[in-house]
Structure 1
Amino acid sequence: MPAVAEARPQTAAAPYSAGIFSGPVFEMARRQFDRVADHLHMAADERERIFMPKRAISVSCPIHRDDGSVAVFTGYRVQHHLTLGPTKGGTRFASTVDVGEVGALAIWMSWKCALLGLPYGGGKGGVTVDPFSLSSRELEALSRRYMQEMIPFVGPQIDVMAPDMGTDERVMAWFMDTYSMYQGSTVTEIVTGKPVECGGTVGRREATGRGVAYCVRRAMEHMKIAPQHATAIIQGFGNVGSVTAQELALQGVRIVGVSDHTAAYYDAGGLDVEALLEHVREHRVLRGYSQESLCDPDELLTRPCDILVPAAMERAITANNAAHLKCRILAEGANGPTTPEADRILAERGEDLFIIPDILCNAGGVVVSYFEWVQDLQRYFWGHAEVREKLEQSLERAFQRVIARAGRDRISHRDAALALGVETVRHAKQTRGLFP
């Protein structure tokens, strides 16, 4: 049976506790929130109610391996708040997954949805597993078992899943099918990021990377950088990083560096993005693409470029490398790539560095996920042009709000984005009151 942990409030005088949540990623989310809560003059007891997740679920997922043995994997789902609507967020299959990481990602998703004006709270899930160690049949078995264990706690008006690191539209189809078999009818709106043939929306796979590229374009306009004279380095060449590279290249930006967990390449003259994409389509990873352009993955982050896009894991920009960054635009394609210590170092550069914070920069995915959910509920689907136009309109509104708030309050773009998101959740909770 799943173990469910409900957040238990303390007295108003006591500081809020992390409870079952721990680890550097969760601590990072807490420190970011506290900084913004100080700016908003938020009382200690109010902070706990707004910050701490409503519900954390832990499940055991046993499956039959191809060799006949039984393996048990641990899965998690964290639902941050349901004040504005159902929770929404991805499901990650990775060997690093733990409840602290999932909790932090759910919290960041709440601020992101609120910033973009989406009627969601933040959710996130994951299974502690290396997906590359599973056969296709084992991956399907694990996906279906995880969703089966989550059925009592999710639903189109409760918690809507989506893909994340280590999962894709195929996994989302298995999730949807498992839930639908339990319900006795097809429920396409239980997940987003599905294949178009199964109720998905056009443009969802490219949405996050396309949104990163849009925000970079707007930042280049602010910094008066001409795309045809700009260079970019992309850390992480999965779905987000590869689409970002492709979109930036279409704008005229020269991609001089890319990396994934297997290899890193740098060429000041520019890399062939289409050749890189073809290599990854065939081999799944960057390793083996070239021997001539190989470089150290850590060193890649500090190579000269106009645009640096960390689009891999959390905590890529730290106190150890922040002072050595040579970019003019830092576009956070990943969630939580910059630590608070690194933020303090980068702040010393002032207007010389334009940071696009993660909850704005990578919001394209959840925006188009929202579009998919709406289309599924209505059973009425849009075309490519309409999806892209609505995505850019949503990002533009949020971009302008962040820039305006940062200028008005004389705070960083990150603090401005977080303040806008936190304020929205705060006001909604105040308006609804406390039950009972």
Structure 2
Amino acid sequence: MTGTRIRWAAAFGVAAAVSALLAASGWLAPPASHLTVAREPAGCTILQAENERSGAPTTLRLLSLPGGVTRRVSQAGYWINAMGYSAAQNVVYGVADGTRAGRYHGAHAVRIDAAGVVTDLGVIGRAGAPKPVWSPVTGATAGAVDGARWYVRQGSDLYTVDIDPAGADYLRVVHRTSLRPVSLAIGVDDFAVDPADGLLYGVSATSRGDSSVVTLDPASGKVAVVPGLRFPEGGAYGSVVLAPGAIYATANQAGRRSATFRLPRDGSGPATEVATGPPLVSGDAAGCLAEPPARPPTTSPPPTTPPGQSSPPPTTPPGQSSEPPPPRTETPSPEPSPEPPPPPPPVEQPVVLPPAPVPAPTPPAVVTPPPSTPAPSPPPPAPPTTHHARPEEKTEPVAQDTGRRRTQEKRRWGLTALILVLGGGAAAAHGRRHR
């Protein structure tokens, strides 16, 4: 190979290595792979305050979005507006301008917990005032919470209220910002904060706003229209919340009803109606609320291992990594066949004999005088020759051994012997005659 070919081969090798490195790092991937995949927006549950007529108690409702299912929570004894949800405290703060008995001299702060219980926290005064009796936020219509700051709009001013329970200025106005231009600001009846940019998003219903989505900067007070995001014309939008991927706003009066609309934040489509309700004089909303905690599993005693079965394997202690075992079908394993028990030790068993037959009683011997010519006595019968069965020995009854008994036995044996002798002699004499 020539030097030129060697140089070209080296150049191609370097190019191939660089291409492989770029492909592995993703620089050579097609442009479409860098785009974020669009996902279906997640749901959101909000708390709505509805005032159907001036001075009437506020009705609190939970609205599930995007489904639009609503349910009544309670009827508060206050005229509530400008609500904001504190995720850290899991409560909603609101401005109450009065009760059924009448209006307050200065607006009060109320707290609404997860169960819908409303608590009056007193007058919202200025920071540093020893005993506030007047509130600058009286008549506020828009509110939102960002951390420990509660933003409240009243007229063309944006007030910041401290809601840190441990702070010295808890529920006191710590800052005021003038909103400009006023022609956009005064038409915003509710807003929601976006933690990503720190701006407040609302709907301006003025002639200049024309139901467009606007942003309010808490730091500078600047109000600006968001291009391409607009809700249907329907008067004041008293409830505004931000959900993942969408803005939800409720028009207080859309004809003879109120209507809640969903508007994609990326401008990919127009606002669509998701829920309706009665026409409102004023209203407000706060959310998205935290989901209720899952019910802890019922603690049950560990299962008792039946006798003869192996106990389950021990659980891996916390902090130790352990790969989960592969799924398996629970099949009871066959129990091992038990070993045969060892033979019992030999026990000497007593020999059991068959019961002996009861002997027949021996008739008493009758003594007769010997005849003059006694007949020959037949020979005694031969013993049996059968080999299949052995004659059983008769067990003689045990009699009382007395002298009289022995004497009777001797007499019977003597008489028997005499009869045999006489019989034998007669037989011998008879044989001699016939010879």
Same fold (TM over 0.5): no
TM-score range, shorter chain: under 0.3
TM-score by length of 1: 0.25
Larger relative CO (CA 8 A, sep 6+): 1 or 2?
Answer: 1
